[in-house]
Amino acid sequence: MTAELIIPNEPKDDDVVIHHRTWKDYFTFSTDHKVIGIQYFVTGFIFYIIGGLLAEAIRTELATPDADLVDPSTYNSMFTMHGTIMIFLWIVPAGTGAFANYLLPLMIGARDMAFPKLNAVAFWIIPPTGLLLILSFFLGPAQAGWTSYPPLSLLTGKVGEGIWIMTLLLLGTSSILGGINFFTTILKMRVPSMSMMQMPLFCWAMLATSLLMLIATPVLAGALILLSFDLIAGTAFFNPVGGGEPVVYQHMFWFYSHPAVYIMVLPFFGVISEVIPVHCRKPIFGYGAIAYSSMVISFLGLIVWAHHMFTSGTPPWLRMFFMITTMVIAVPTGIKIFGWLATMWGGKITLNSPMLFAMGFISTFVIGGITGVMLAAVPFDIHVHDTYFVVAHLHYVLFGGSVFGIYTGIYHWFPKVTGRHINDTWGKIHFVLTYVGFNVTFLPMHVLGLQGMPRRIAMYAPEFQGLNQVCTYGSYVLAISTVPFLVNAIYCAYKGDKAGSNPWNALTLDWQTTSPPEIENFEVLPVLTTGPYDYGDTTEVEESPEVLTTTGG
Amino acid sequence: MPTVLFRDRATTRTRVITTDPDPLSLIPHPLNMQGSISDQTQINIETVAHDSHHEAHPDHRIFGLIVFLVAEGMIFLGLFIAYLAFRSMAPEWPPAGTPKLELLLPGVNTVVLIASSLVIHQADTAIKKNDVKGLQLWFGLTALMGILFLGGQLYEYSHLEFGLRTNLFASTFYVLTGFHGLHVTVGVLLILSVLWRSMKSEHYGTNNHFGVEAAEIYWHFVDVIWIILFILLYLL
């Protein structure tokens, strides 16, 4: 079949001048959301590599039961840095910063975000802050894990702990500023013809995410302000020695950090909802259900935090409440999963790299979700608390979910961002290596956890060595899997085949402009001619001047 | 091969989207789950497009400010709830031996701050009538009242008989009031910067007074936070 697509915004040879960005633009205080999106992604990816190298060092250390690669306190600071970098400098900036910045204005037909300068400020907080955090690694790093529970965090690595708190306050500020921008942009900047229920589902996901960023992140800031007083001024908010209550910190911390899980995964629910209909050539199943389930997840995400604290002396009635709300969250999540599966059912599935990663996302995220429901059950949680079962669960959610989601988005929007195709064969090789490496690394951890191997220690009992070595080999495969991606992406960004404006024949507005989009996105503001997912609509219409819209139900 | 044709009034260029010749999608079939999306096909075309490359960036700053203040309010809410948690977990509150808080000075301070919220609103009314002199008068007065409040608070700090580290109550007292005081300081600086800008002729006017409005909204926010804080720390 021939796919001829003449788009209103396609430039004619002489009537439109396309402004191309040069590499220098990416080192400036640019207010263009597309530049900022790429700045976020590249910065995030650099930190991903740093955090990944730390992970490889951790796995290498764990290949043997003894602490023979690094000493235990260095090991403590390594997993502290690994967690902090991966969460706050990679997944949050890549998901909310990169994807939302690049895509939101394009998807809703806006020329930029609502507050372009604020956007640039939010980004430029991140690189110096990240460098500061890495610097702290050489100045007596924090050792209390990414949760930084007092009183442990008040006793070990004080200099690093102070820097850690400052880093998180700054990154939290960046996140709040981003949230203000996304929230306002989605609500106020849509093209006049687009109602809320005609937005692409990624916008719904980002609306839910931005609400969480705005409501939950400030509470973490409050906790960190009190913690910094304990650390620097010698108060005792959270220090039992001076009559303080460490559990209050845990409540405040998890009031942010549980929603943070949804901040890290909701954008990718959105990405998957965009990718699957395009590559299955079918309308999304249950648009309204998927849209509203994002909002429900956002709301429920705010009232489940204490399931991280079942062993912190939480009273039984409170445990019961949080157990039930946590389990209920599986319902809106399941609605999305089944929506995606029903979309794929009977569709014309193209098994290209974005679709493979999307399917990888669904399969691994389901495993992470199910172990999440298991962990929500109080008796089971008490049994496996602080074991490798939790490590396996969180990596299935944050790697199997978020990172697979990031790769899905990258392969899907690569032609949009660069105007060129990324090599699909190498994309598939990348997928296979990532998928195999990921599962070999993290699947055995479930077993280790059930057998009772505690997390966050450099040494373990010798009987765990066999499975730990499997994990370590898996992690090497995972590390190697990044190489074909990087080479492929960098090579194809300059030398790949020209993709044209809309290589996937997608219907959302982001594809209805040039690739890469010109500055200010659209030559003329687009008009909606179809819903975002009206694929496979076969209504045939004769061409006549009177017919404006040809989509029939 | 089924095709869908669009004619786009804005550009009068023809747009052809080729869709999949998928036989499944032609027949209503339980496996062909498209029903849920059928609403989406009812979208009307509106011709919004003009030669509009130079339109002004839409101004949503007030909305953005309010969203920001919601986030800012969440920091305070977090601290308030932490305070209540500390309070509920302590056997005695304030802990035995804590000197009682004096009510007179903070009471006067509260009245000053609430009154300043009414005063700053007069500035908004003035600038809507294009009265820059009125704006300057009322903003100057608000700034003075803010400074008075801050001075009162510093005076109170210097006369209290407990320090930051005396006990948990003392620590929460200083951190909460101090964090609020920081916001009052920012508010005063905002008001002063609006005053500074209003010296430029025609900077603010009937239709152009975002700075005035923003400073006012922020000031009301600081005021509301203080009322809650006052009730929590002094009255409860």
Which ipTM value was assigned to this complex?
0.89
Q: Is residue B53 part of a domain?
A: no
> Residues of B numbered 121-160 whose beta carbons fall under 8 angstroms of chain A's beta carbons: which are they?
none
User: Who among B29, B40, B53 is closest to A287 (CB)?
Assistant: B40
Statement to judge: residues B71 and B25 lie in one domain:
no
- pLDDT exceeds 80 at position B11: no
Statement to judge: residues B82 and B181 lie in one domain:
yes
Statement to judge: residues B200 and B103 lie in one domain:
yes
Statement to judge: residues B29 and B81 lie in one domain:
no
Give the Cα-Cα-Cα angle A517, A88, A114 (nearest 5 degrees).
Answer: 40
Any idea what the CATH number is for the domain that residue B160 is in?
1.20.120.80
Statement to judge: residues B150 and B197 lie in one domain:
yes
For A295-351, what is each residue's pLDDT tens digit? Answer: 999 999 999 999 999 999 889 999 999 999 999 999 999 999 999 999 999 999 999
pLDDT of residue B53: 47
Give the Cα-Cα-Cα angle A314, B70, A172 (nearest 5 degrees).
Answer: 70
User: Who among B75, B89, B164 is closest to A221 (CB)?
Assistant: B75
Contacts of B94 in chain A (CB under 8 A): none
- pLDDT exceeds 70 at position B33: no
Statement to judge: residues B10 and B92 lie in one domain:
no
Tokens read off for B193 = 């910067």
Statement to judge: residues B18 and B112 lie in one domain:
no
Cβ atoms of residues A435 and A409 within 8 Å: no
pLDDT exceeding 90 applies to what percent of chain A?
84
pLDDT of residue A82: 96
Q: Is residue B36 part of a domain?
A: yes
For A252-300, what is each residue's pLDDT tens digit? Answer: 999 999 999 999 999 999 999 999 999 999 999 999 999 999 999 999 9
> Residues of B numbered 57-86 whose beta carbons fall under 8 angstroms of chain A's beta carbons: which are they?
57-58, 60-61, 63-64, 67-68, 70-79, 82, 85-86
pLDDT of residue A539: 55
- Chain A residue whose CA is closest to B165: A235
Predicted structure pTM score: 0.88
Band (pLDDT 50/70/90 cuts) for residue B55 is low
For A185-227, what is each residue's pLDDT tens digit? Answer: 999 999 988 999 999 999 999 999 999 999 999 999 999 999 9
Report the pLDDT averaged over residues A123-130.
97
Statement to judge: residues B18 and B97 lie in one domain:
no
Band (pLDDT 50/70/90 cuts) for residue B30 is very low
Statement to judge: residues B176 and B101 lie in one domain:
yes
**Residue A126 Cα, gap to closest chain B Cα (Å):** 19
- pLDDT exceeds 70 at position B38: no
For A420-434, what is each residue's pLDDT tens digit? Answer: 999 999 999 999 999
A521 has which bridge partners?
A: A518
Q: Do B50 and A183 touch (CB under 8 A)?
A: no
d(CA A230, CA A239) in angstroms, rounded, equals 7
The answer, for A343 touching chain B at a CB cutoff of 8 Å, is yes
Q: Is residue B88 part of a domain?
A: yes
Cβ atoms of residues A362 and A340 within 8 Å: yes
Q: Do B45 and A255 touch (CB under 8 A)?
A: no
3-class SS string, A74-105: HHHHHHHHHHHHHHHHHHHHHHHHHHHHHHHH
Q: Is residue B49 part of a domain?
A: no
**Residue B53 Cα, gap to closest chain A Cα (Å):** 7
Q: Which domain holds residue B8?
A: 3-42
Statement to judge: residues B35 and B95 lie in one domain:
no
Task: Count CB pairs under 8 A between chains A and B.
Answer: 269
Q: Is residue B48 part of a domain?
A: no
Q: Is residue B50 part of a domain?
A: no
Statement to judge: residues B108 and B180 lie in one domain:
yes
**Residue A421 Cα, gap to closest chain B Cα (Å):** 20
Q: Provide the domain count of chain B.
A: 2
- pLDDT exceeds 90 at position A547: no
- pLDDT exceeds 70 at position A17: no
**Residue B187 Cα, gap to closest chain A Cα (Å):** 19
Of residues B6 and A181, the one with the higher pLDDT is A181
The answer, for A375 touching chain B at a CB cutoff of 8 Å, is no
pLDDT of residue B32: 33
pLDDT of residue B37: 33
- Chain A residue whose CA is closest to B58: A114
Q: Do B165 and A284 touch (CB under 8 A)?
A: no
d(CA A381, CA A386) in angstroms, rounded, equals 9
pLDDT exceeding 70 applies to what percent of chain A?
93
- Chain A residue whose CA is closest to B1: A1
Q: Is residue B55 part of a domain?
A: no
pLDDT of residue B5: 39
- pLDDT exceeds 70 at position B31: no
Q: Do A234 and B79 touch (CB under 8 A)?
A: no
Tokens read off for A128 = 């110096």
pLDDT of residue A307: 94
pLDDT of residue B4: 39
Contacts of A8 in chain B (CB under 8 A): 8, 10-11, 13, 15, 49
Cβ atoms of residues A153 and A130 within 8 Å: no
pLDDT of residue A84: 96
For A20-57, what is each residue's pLDDT tens digit? Answer: 688 888 999 999 999 999 999 999 999 999 999 999 99
State the average pLDDT for chain B. 80
Statement to judge: residues B8 and B83 lie in one domain:
no
The answer, for A248 touching chain B at a CB cutoff of 8 Å, is yes
pLDDT exceeding 90 applies to what percent of chain B?
61
Domains and CATH numbers, chain A: 32-511 (1.20.210.10)
Contacts of A345 in chain B (CB under 8 A): 31, 33
